[in-house]
Amino acid sequence: MSQPVCPLSAIPKGEAYRWEVEPPIAIFHTEDGEVFAIDDTCTHQDASLADGWLEGCEVECPLHASRFDLRTGKVDAPPAKKPVRTHQVTVTDGIVHVAVSDAAPNLPPGV
């Protein structure tokens, strides 16, 4: 079921919002105006992807520079090996809604 998170206007293009659910979810607003949601925690170690660098449809982890594809959650650059979960996003009346995946998250060891 999809849940309201925040107004899209609260996330400038090229930036991310960390939604404090358990586990946290990062919502990205790309320069092209698309919106994606993935698990916020890198699958390599405990780093917040919302603090990473957004480039096109990819985010680079701030800790060891793994890159994840926001559309699929796939790893595009190591050292991470496992994908992050992706979540379905809709924007209705300017509000970002996220339907949290019911797949198991790929959290790193110790998290």
Residues contributing to the site for ligand FES (CB under 6 A): 42, 44-45, 47, 61, 63-64, 66, 79-80
Q: Which is nearer to ligand FES, 81 or 90 (CB)?
A: 81
Q: How far is the CB of 110 from ligand FES (least distance, A)?
A: 12
Q: HEC states along 4-39? A: EEEEHHHCCCCEEEEECCCCCEEEEECCCCCEEEEE
Instruction: Quote the CA–CA distance of 27 and 80 in Å, as a whole number.
Output: 20
Q: Which is nearer to ligand FES, 57 or 108 (CB)?
A: 108
HSE on the CB side for 1, CA within 13 Å?
A: 1
Q: Which is nearer to ligand FES, 7 or 23 (CB)?
A: 23
Q: How far is the CB of 20 from ligand FES (least distance, A)?
A: 19
Phi then psi for 109, rounded to 5 degrees?
-60, 135
Q: How far is the CB of 47 from ligand FES (least distance, A)?
A: 4
